[in-house]
Every structure is written in C-alpha cells, then in structure tokens.
A = this chain, B = another copy of it.
C-alpha cells in the first residue's frame, strides 16, 4: 500500500497544504510523535492513530512501514516532512519494504511560518542550523555557525535549547558575535501557529542574554536586516534597482 510522509506545517490548522490534507484523509492510520498526534486528532477526529515518544524515531518509522503493508498510512511531522523530520529515515528503512510506495509531502517549516510572524527576515540567502548535538558533533555545529556568520547569511536556529542544553544559544551567539555586530537585528518566534504563539524582535547582544525553550525558533538577520514598523525585514535591494 502507500506510506505518505506528511509535513503538516505549524500548529495552526490553516497552514496545512491541500495535498497534506488529502493524504491524511486517504490514510487508514495516522502515525506520529505523541505531541503531533494530539494536534492531528483535533483536526481529524474520525481517524485511527498510533504514536511513539520522543527519540523513538526509528520505532515510529518501522511501525508506519509495518502498517503500510496492508493499508495506507500517513506518518506525520510538524513543519516539513524532510527537515528534522521523518522522510530521510523512512526512505532509508524502506529498503526492507520494497512493495510499499513512499510519497513525501512537503509542509511549511518553522523558518517560514516564524519568518512570516516576525515580518520578512528570509527574503534572501539563508542557512538553517540545529543546535541539538544529539545527532551532530558539536564541532560541526560550531563550524556551521562560524561559516554562516562570516558569509553574512540570515541564520535560522532550530532546537536552540532544552533542559540539558540550557546555555547552547548563548554559546552560539558568542560565535556569531565574533563576526556580526551586537546590533544585528534578531527575532524569536515561540509556539508558532498555536494558542500561545508569541514573538519578539531584539538585538544579537540581547539575544545572547535571553533564555529560550525548545518550542522557540531563532532568527539572526544579515548585515542589512532592519526593523520596519516593528517587523524584522531583510531588504533585497529592489528599491535601488
């Protein structure tokens, strides 16, 4: 049968694509991380669900692949299906399930839904970096922070903090401050698309001394990013063309 790997966008019902909506409706079973399954249950209460907990990614994908042997399944991811999502692992593990057709369905990731909330920080070349060193060596993360700061990318940080990594954002800012002005315009977006959604625009120096949690996405502007009417905007140069 068919396994859809579905990015359902932010926590806001409206941010899902028509394609993702159709995939969920065509599936007999919806599989996901427990928190995401709770969200989808509110949107599609008539469906059957199964879930696994945090860090149970491999078990989750195998569960979805097993079920997809005899019925259509949607494996759901918040934001996009690929980015820090399940699509890569599903394609890797699918080698053992040659009769299952896998379709990846993109969704709007937090870089874009959070960007729209803040204004328009991502108008131009940008880099996305996860600060979680669970799956990536810390040295590689530092190298990516350095390279993207030096090359004046707008930078989006995912997983900026957790209980065991309380000072990671501060350390990342210290690397960025070697190359970027403390006045660089930054933004944080929290609980994007959910009831408690909030955002704040602040300088890189202020960001360094700000505590964020794991529900937050962090935006660091490039050298041209500015504040216009309280929104974070990276100009693209059209005005001068």
| Residues of A participating in the B interface, judged by any CB pair closer than 8 Å | 7, 9, 12-19, 21-22, 55, 57-58, 80-85, 87-95, 104-109, 112-113, 115-116, 119-130, 134-136, 140, 143-144, 146-148, 150-153, 228-229, 231, 233-239, 241
A91-B229 in contact given A135-B238, A241-B58 (Cβ < 8 Å): yes
Chain A interface secondary structure, helix, strand, loop or mixed?
mixed
Residues of B within 8 A of A83 (CB): 112, 122-124, 126
21 A-B interface contacts by CB (under 8 A): A14-B19, A15-B17, A15-B18, A18-B21, A82-B116, A84-B124, A84-B236, A87-B123, A89-B236, A92-B233, A92-B235, A92-B239, A94-B229, A104-B119, A106-B113, A108-B108, A125-B130, A127-B127, A127-B153, A140-B151, A140-B152
- A-B contact sample (5 more), CB < 8 A, given A14-B22, A82-B123: A14-B19, A80-B122, A82-B121, A83-B112, A125-B127
Assembly of this chain: how many copies? 2
Is B106 in contact with A115, judged by CB distance below 8 angstroms?
yes
Complex CA gap A30/B115 in Å reads 23
Chain B: minimal CB distance from A191 (Å): 16
Residues of B within 8 A of A135 (CB): 236-238, 241
Is B115 in contact with A238, judged by CB distance below 8 angstroms?
no
Complex CA gap A123/B82 in Å reads 5
Is A127 in contact with B126, judged by CB distance below 8 angstroms?
yes
Is A228 in contact with B92, judged by CB distance below 8 angstroms?
yes
Is A91 in contact with B120, judged by CB distance below 8 angstroms?
yes
